[in-house]
Amino acid sequence: MMILLERTDELRRLTRALHRAQDGHGDRIDITGPFGCGKSALLDAIRTRATDVRVLTANCSALEQDFAFGVARQLLEPALSKAGDTARVDSMFSVQEAAVRGLTALTHRMSADQPMLLLIDDLQWADEPSLRWLATLSRTLEKHPILLVVATRGGDPPGHTEIRPEPLSPAAIAELVEHRTGQTPDAEFVAACHEVTGGNPMFLCAVLAHVTSPTGDQVPHVRELRPARLRERLLRGLATQPRHVQDLAKAVATLGDDDELAGQLAGLTKTQAREARRVLDHAGLVTGRPAVRDAIEESMPVSEREAWQAKAVKLLHDNGRPAEQVAARLLAVTTAQGGWAIDTLGEAARTAMRRGAPEVAARYLRRALRDVPGNSEQRARLLVDLATAERLFDPAASVRHISYAVPLFREVEERAAALVRIAPTALGSAPRPVRDLIDQVAAGVGHDKELACRLEARQRYAWHSDPALLAGSAERLKQIDGATPGERELQIILLDAAMLTARLPAHEVADIASTVLKQERPHPRHVHTAIPLLIRVLAAADAAGDTVPWLGEAFDQATNTVEQALIRAQQSFVLMHLGKPGEAHAAAGHALDLAVLDWRGDTTTAAIGLAAVAMELRDPALIAKILTSRPDRDEPAGCDAAYRMLHAVGEAVAGEHAQALERFQDCGRVLDAVGWRNPVLLPWRLSTARLHAQLGDLAAAREAAAEAWDRAVEWGAPLGIGRALSVLGRHTPGRKGLGMLQEAVQVLHANPFERAKALLQLGARERADGDSQAQRHLDEAHRLAVHSGAERLAKRIAKELDGNSPGIAVALTRAEFKVAGLVIRGLTNAEIAEELAVTSRAIEKHLTNSFRKLGIRRRTELPAALARAYPPST
């Protein structure tokens, strides 16, 4: 019953024929159709309906085709054995012509005693003498109570009634699935079953045997299933076909459904190919179905499969098929194919690179390398192309392959051109031999200024932890005008060194860096170049405003998670230095969710930037997330120090002040030793000043803050000066300290977050002195904290305000607080939804909850309401 869905008409025709046979008017009915369509099931069904009828059955087999009258014996011997007449049957089969007449007469006599139903399965495999007998018998059935029903894959039987079961419809498939699983199937599951099986009952039952839940999430499983039992039956079916049919099946399985080329691959004429295709389709061996194709491929030994693949690839190439189509098949061919294959793989790699698929390009190039002599310049060029692709997803492998390629080139210019394919930032942790190789080639470049600049950029970054080399960067920077791409690349490396060492004033560094950025088009692939260093320089110089739209445009073009993650890390660092901690926190979280620190390339810049953000936010969850994501590999001393400083911040937040102080001081010694003196990038002295104060040593706190201020003034960025003044002013008594805090507020006028912190210190000092300005400064600090999304700071300021305001305890959630801050900034609900990547309905819900908690009714009341209340830390 399970497999007889949608077979009502077929059964009705068979039943009517059976009744007519019982009335003395026999017939022959051929049930035809492809492999697995349910022919055998119909034979079984009519047998169960045959009452008061002698039922004789036979199952034909390819193994018994040479056994004369094998089918006739299966039908008649059991019945005659019961009658004790086997000797007469044996003698009847001795001469074929006489046997045919005798068997026909015998069948007629047997039907005279009782109507007969003869059922024969797989007639296409019947022996020739039996077929002759059945043909003779068929011509006589109309006058005898005999119904002959045969199941066969052959088609168009002349003069016979034919029944051809149709494939099951989606509705029937759904019914069968529900019967098998006891669950109503999802529509997409039924659609997948119909697509994969074509409605073939046998294929469908094989699939359902491996499914327990007919739900949408099982669709990929259904598409990938290759049931072993089905595969075995398909192989048996294929083995019975003529040689030219088998060859076409192998060609199609190898090449795909390109009938013209498949026929050529099989060595067939067009007529032969069409006939072979008709036979395959009629037999149910539809080569377009994955299960059939897999079965055909598995029928071939490895060596035969390899030979078919090699012939197919050459055929595609000779017929002008696209390079990538040919190259994709070359990947499966292990034997060398000659120069045409190498050229095709190279062309396919270039096509893959143009469409943004570097990993695919790398696979083509690795295959090409297998066919190239080991010490040839052709091999060197392929290695360089491979490294160019790999630098977008595996920079360490890129460096390694360039180092293999360079010695194979004879000309120094070619060696230099190969080395500049390596991104400068990929050399931060390069092995010593690679750095020595760059030095060696750079020494011999000669008069090619562009190559010389690009090699120098790589030399300098490779030795970035050398204090002597860093110290000379400022003077070298003055000699470069940035007229060419190579000079601008060198400028970026020198700018980063000048920023790290603070050897040039921030405004000079910022002017050069801004000019360079304007000449670079925003693109997500900038993450694989030196430009992330330029973004870092501008942020540390307190001149990062132009980087926000630049990075936004680059992110909008990013299509892979590596690029998205690295850009998010840059955005986080920039937003923090622009005084937008709420947005910086969100960007940092997104970068970490995208596993930015798991990338196989250099993550030094991203790690330092994220560490700086987390240190300023002092968020234990973000700190823990960064530290647990730290990659297990060697890193430059400055990056290692950044991680250790972040660990120290975590200790300080947990109240372990002495331990945190010792760790900060140790990190400071490391940074000073490698020449990293910038007071904005990693302000460790300000952290030690705060910790000294926490431990009660105000003199040491002032000394550390004063050193930080000296460094900040030397560098000249307002952000560094304002931070240092704020800390120093807090721990300096009297009017002198008050004046420092007032100056800090002025210096930090462009940074809402840092200005809010300075106003908090100023307002607290003024309140202690009884100054009437305190309330105004604290209110302004609270407004700026809310505006910038600084929840923790807003809480601290609200506590300071508590003494003079009737505030109420309002427990806005983190999401509600963030939405409120964006409303105050003037964003609409739709803009906020886009900013936070949620629905407008979610924004409306957050605002409704916030209004209810704050006791207000409209958006215009929100700023004042938040000034009276503050959200707790969540």
Q: What is the DSSP string of 614-638?
A: HHHHT-HHHHHHHHHT--SS---HH
Residue 429 has pLDDT above 90, yes or no: no
Q: Which of 141, 163, 185 is the C-terminal boundary of a domain?
A: 163
Beta strands at 54-59 and 27-32: parallel, antiparallel or unpaired: unpaired
**Whole-angstrom distance, CA of residue 651 vs CA of residue 623:** 10
Amino acid letter for position 298: E
Residue 196 has pLDDT above 50, yes or no: yes
Whether residue 857 lies inside any domain: the answer is yes
What sign results for the dihedral spanned by CA atoms 584, 585, 586, 587? positive
**Whole-angstrom distance, CA of residue 346 vs CA of residue 108:** 75
pLDDT in tens, 531-541: 999 999 999 99
Give the pLDDT confidence score for residue 622 in this predicted structure.
Answer: 93
Amino acid letter for position 101: R
Residues 681 and 812 in one domain: no
Phi-psi region of 827 (alpha: psi -120 to 50; beta: other; left: phi over 0): beta
The runs of H, that is alpha helices, within 444-484 are 449-462, 467-471, 473-477
Residue 709 has pLDDT above 80, yes or no: yes
Q: Helices 718-730 and 752-768, interaxial angle, to 10°? A: 20
Whether residue 784 lies inside any domain: the answer is no
Give the domain CATH number at 153.
Answer: 3.40.50.300
| 3-class secondary structure per residue, 685-729 | HHHHHHHHHHCCCHHHHHHHHHHHHHHHHHHCCHHHHHHHHHHHH
Residue 328 has pLDDT above 50, yes or no: yes
SS3 label, residue 570: helix
* Nearest in space to 256 (alpha carbons), one of 289, 224, 301: 289
Per the listing, tokens 């860096």 go with 513
Backbone angles phi, psi at 355, to 5 degrees: -90, 10
pLDDT, mean of residues 388-409: 92
**Whole-angstrom distance, CA of residue 84 vs CA of residue 72:** 17
Whether residue 199 lies inside any domain: the answer is no
**Whole-angstrom distance, CA of residue 177 vs CA of residue 211:** 9
Name the DSSP class of 37.
S
Give the pLDDT confidence score for residue 155 in this predicted structure.
Answer: 53
Backbone angles phi, psi at 582, to 5 degrees: -60, -50
What sign results for the dihedral spanned by CA atoms 606, 607, 612, 613? positive
Contact 364, 388 (CB under 8 A): no
Residues 659 and 512 in one domain: yes
Give the domain CATH number at 664.
Answer: 1.25.40.10
Q: For residue 455, name the pLDDT band (cuts at 50, 70, 90).
A: very high
Q: For residue 233, name the pLDDT band (cuts at 50, 70, 90).
A: low
Contact 572, 610 (CB under 8 A): yes
Give the distance from CA 604 to its chain's centroid.
Answer: 24
Give the pLDDT confidence score for residue 806 in this predicted structure.
Answer: 37
Residue 415 has pLDDT above 90, yes or no: yes
* Tokens, residue 816: 């509600």
Residue 281 has pLDDT above 80, yes or no: no
**Whole-angstrom distance, CA of residue 250 vs CA of residue 258:** 13
Whether residue 309 lies inside any domain: the answer is no
Give the domain CATH number at 811.
Answer: 1.10.10.10
Name the DSSP class of 422.
S
| Cβ neighbour number for residue 328 with a 10 Å cutoff | 17
Say how many domains are in the chain: 3
Q: For residue 183, name the pLDDT band (cuts at 50, 70, 90).
A: confident
CA angle 538/543/546 to nearest 5° reads 85
Across the chain, mean pLDDT equals 86
Name the pTM for this structure: 0.66
CA dihedral 728, 729, 731, 734 (to 10 degrees): 140
Give the pLDDT confidence score for residue 291 in this predicted structure.
Answer: 62
Lowest mean pLDDT among 110-119, 134-143, 515-524, 818-827: 818-827
Give the pLDDT confidence score for residue 714 in this predicted structure.
Answer: 96
* Nearest in space to 397 (alpha carbons), one of 377, 421, 379, 372: 421
| Cβ neighbour number for residue 570 with a 10 Å cutoff | 28
pLDDT, mean of residues 659-676: 94
Q: For residue 157, name the pLDDT band (cuts at 50, 70, 90).
A: low
Give the pLDDT confidence score for residue 667 in this predicted structure.
Answer: 95
SS3 label, residue 165: coil
Contact 407, 374 (CB under 8 A): no
* Nearest in space to 23 (alpha carbons), one of 107, 119, 147, 134: 147
* Nearest in space to 238 (alpha carbons), one of 130, 166, 153, 129: 153
* Nearest in space to 426 (alpha carbons), one of 401, 452, 453, 451: 401
Contact 863, 783 (CB under 8 A): yes
Determine whether 792 is exposed, middle or buried from the number of CB atoms within 10 Å of its CB (0-12, 13-18, 19+): middle
pLDDT, mean of residues 244-264: 79
Whether residue 614 lies inside any domain: the answer is yes
The length of the chain is 874
How many helices (H) and strands (E) are present in the chain, helices listed first?
47, 5
Amino acid letter for position 219: V
**Contact residues for 683 (Cβ-Cβ < 8 A; gap 6+):** 708, 720, 723
Whether residue 281 lies inside any domain: the answer is no
**Whole-angstrom distance, CA of residue 469 vs CA of residue 462:** 10
Per the listing, tokens 């893959």 go with 352
* Tokens, residue 389: 């692709």
pLDDT, mean of residues 439-454: 90
* Nearest in space to 134 (alpha carbons), one of 160, 155, 156: 160
Give the pLDDT confidence score for residue 872 in this predicted structure.
Answer: 33
DSSP string, 229-281: HHHHHHHHHHHTS-HHHHHHHHHHHHH-S-HHHHHHHTT--HHHHHHHHHHHH
Long-range contact pairs involving 20-24 (C-beta distance under 8 Å, separation at least 24): 20/147, 21/53, 21/115, 21/116, 21/117, 21/141, 21/145, 21/146, 21/147, 22/52, 22/53, 22/115, 22/145, 23/145, 24/143, 24/144, 24/145
Beta strands at 161-163 and 116-121: parallel, antiparallel or unpaired: unpaired
Residue 594 has pLDDT above 50, yes or no: yes
Give the pLDDT confidence score for residue 812 in this predicted structure.
Answer: 66
| 3-class secondary structure per residue, 174-193 | HHHHHHHHCCCCCHHHHHHH
Q: Which of 132, 163, 194 is the C-terminal boundary of a domain?
A: 163
Contact 22, 53 (CB under 8 A): yes
**Contact residues for 613 (Cβ-Cβ < 8 A; gap 6+):** 572, 573, 576, 584, 585, 588, 622
**Whole-angstrom distance, CA of residue 154 vs CA of residue 124:** 6
Give the pLDDT confidence score for residue 807 in this predicted structure.
Answer: 36
**Whole-angstrom distance, CA of residue 813 vs CA of residue 811:** 6
Whether residue 742 lies inside any domain: the answer is no
* Tokens, residue 800: 């300071």
Percentage with pLDDT > 90 across the chain: 44
Q: Which residue has the higher pLDDT, 295 or 650?
A: 650
Whether residue 353 lies inside any domain: the answer is no
Amino acid letter for position 333: V
Exposure class string for 712-747: b at 16+ Cβ within 10 A, else e: bebbbbbbbbbbbbbbbbbbbeeeebbebbbbbbeb
pLDDT in tens, 337-396: 889 999 999 999 999 999 989 999 999 999 999 999 888 999 999 999 999 999 888 888
Contact 790, 753 (CB under 8 A): yes
**Whole-angstrom distance, CA of residue 705 vs CA of residue 698:** 10
Q: For residue 90, name the pLDDT band (cuts at 50, 70, 90).
A: low
Lowest mean pLDDT among 217-231, 499-513, 664-678: 217-231
pLDDT in tens, 545-580: 999 999 999 999 998 899 999 999 999 999 999 999
First vs last C-alpha separation in the chain: 61
Which residues span the domain enclosing 840? Answer: 806-874
Q: Which of 670, 686, 702 is the C-terminal boundary of a domain?
A: 686
Residues 680 and 817 in one domain: no
Name the DSSP class of 527.
G
CA dihedral 56, 59, 65, 67 (to 10 degrees): -40
pLDDT in tens, 605-657: 999 999 999 999 999 999 999 999 998 887 888 889 999 999 999 999 988 99
DSSP string, 823-863: HHTT--HHHHHHHHTS-HHHHHHHHHHHHHHHT--SGGGHH
User: What are the C-alpha distances in Å from 686 to residues 18, 498, 674, 680?
Assistant: 100, 21, 19, 10
**Whole-angstrom distance, CA of residue 262 vs CA of residue 270:** 10
Residue 309 has pLDDT above 70, yes or no: yes
Give the pLDDT confidence score for residue 535 in this predicted structure.
Answer: 97
